[in-house]
Structure 1
Amino acid sequence: MTWNLPNILTIGRLLAAPFLAFAFVFLPRGLADWVAIVLFVGAALTDYIDGYLARKWKQESKFGAMLDPIADKAMVVIALMILVGAWDMYPYVVFPAALIMFREVFVSGLREFLGADAGKLQVTKLAKWKTTAQMVAISLLFAQGVFEHHFWANTVGMDDGIVSSVLSGNTEDEMGLWFLRTGALATHYAGLWVLWIAAALTLITGWDYFNKSRPYLVDEPDA
């Protein structure tokens, strides 16, 4: 194992993955949402930075190449698990999340079976777009939790009539409720749309990987 900055960033991203779950277990919801968005966005940025630095500084290694996709998948799978729970099994989150996790398990098993031949199957640009879409979708859905927490925290002590009056513009919005509600709605719908796009790309790239691996799955004819 080579201890260089790109590999250290990858290891940090891998270790950050379980802390997403720990945040929602041990911290109050508002703080947990902030921790989740910071950890996940930070992990998404290091996913780009460590690869860029490894290429620029010519520090690419087998250890980094092995660990990088593991760190990505660990972060995505744990984040999806948290979102499914936080959204109370909301079907529009559960279904794409299940498709994404199914593909990741299937492709990981296929790579394990192929062994050394798995390295011959190159990562496509579409697969990189898939990863980007997953990261963006999950970041947006975590951001929704942040907006919602602050919205409800700022409406403590207000009755529904006052909140409606503020949101309609009839009462001065001293607490920024309109901004928080708009942010929650925008991240909600954008996050769901991008999550479904990510699920579609996940299935397409999974099928492409399986199709390319088929020549290595053919049984040798009996002598």
Structure 2
Amino acid sequence: MVSSTAPQLGRNWSLPNILTYARVAAVPLVAGFLLGPDAPWARWTALAIFVAAGISDFFDGYLARAWSQQSSLGRMLDPIADKLLVSAVILVLAANQTISGATLWAAIVILCREILVSGL
């Protein structure tokens, strides 16, 4: 169970926001491992970072609510971090032709949905 008291770091440096910052920082890491060496370990590393970023997406919102650390920065940055991560992975997988054909079209639909839903 999560404690109801949170560490005090300042509103923009709360743990929920730090998790969101880490998700933004994960974008070039995931892209780099996918575009880098053509080795299984690189793809597995990219997958591990992507999954960790996805898990952190749950925890940043949960902790922000549990510790009453919601912020306007977090509300703005959280969906942007999500869109950046998903969009970067789709674009990189399409660029290195890991996805093609019908799978590519499905990825394009997902990418368009991500952009349209967020209104970016």
Q: TM-score, normalised by structure 1?
A: 0.46
For 2:58 and 2:116, locate their aligned partners in 1 and report how far apart those are by CA, in whole Å: 25
For 2:57 and 2:14, locate their aligned partners in 1 and report how far apart those are by CA, in whole Å: 15
Q: Partner residue of 1:126?
A: none
Deviations 1:90-111 (A, max 9, x none): 2122111111112223334xx3
Flag structure 2 segments of 5+ consecutive residues without an equivalent.
1-10
Cα RMSD of the aligned pairs, angstroms, is 1.8
Indicate conservation of the 8 Å contact 2:35/2:92, yes or no.
no
Q: Give the deviation of 1:52 after TM superposition.
A: 0.4
The amino acid that maps onto 2:103 is V
Flag structure 1 segments of 5+ consecutive residues without an equivalent.
113-223
Q: Does 1:16 align with 2:26?
A: yes
Q: Which of 1 and 2 has higher RCO (CA within 8 Å, sep 6+)?
A: 2
Q: Partner residue of 1:6?
A: 16
Q: Partner residue of 1:106?
A: 116
Q: Partner residue of 1:67?
A: 77
Q: How many residues align?
A: 110
Q: Partner residue of 1:78?
A: 88
Tell which deviates more after alignment, 84-93 or 94-103: 84-93
Q: Partner residue of 1:189?
A: none
Q: Give the deviation of 1:28 after TM superposition.
A: 3.5
Q: 1:86 to 1:26 in 2, by over 3 A?
A: closer
The amino acid that maps onto 1:78 is A
Deviations 1:96-132 (A, max 9, x none): 1111112223334xx36xxxxxxxxxxxxxxxxxxxx
